[in-house]
Amino acid sequence: MTKDFLDEYVRDRAKTNRAFPKMVNGAIEARRLLRTLALRREKLGLSQTLVAARMNTSQSAVARLEAGEVDPRISTVERYAGALGQRLEARGTSKHTTRKAT
């Protein structure tokens, strides 16, 4: 695979912050989870407005969440999943913990 700017950036930042690559991977995993939940919302035919009402928040907050414009707390993602009739499960491994919607 060809290295790109992001690979170089992560490598350079890791020189001063050894945890940086792990942080990037965590952000990628969180984004993947949110995208999976957004696709689930669409498949269920639920509007952002309805999901927002179930979460007691605004449609624009749900839009920002789905667009990856915010770094949400786990409790927010749990509320989002719950509004879709889903729940989060955490799986611990020797290297890291992953979350998935079920």
Q: CA–CA separation, 89 vs 76, rounded Å?
A: 14
Q: What is the pTM of this model?
A: 0.76
Is a pLDDT exceeding 60 seen at residue 30? Answer: yes
Tell me the pLDDT tens digit for each residue of 39-62.
999 999 999 999 999 999 999 999
Q: Which of 82, 30, 34, 85 has the alpha carbon at shortest distance from 56?
A: 82
- pLDDT-derived band at 96 (thresholds 50, 70, 90) equals low
**Residue 54, domain extent:** 5-101
Total count of residues recorded for the chain: 102
Predicted pLDDT of residue 16: 94
Number of domains in the chain: 1
Query: Where residue 72 sits, what CATH number does that domain have?
Result: 1.10.260.40
For the stretch 65-94, pLDDT in tens is 999 999 899 999 999 999 999 999 887 766
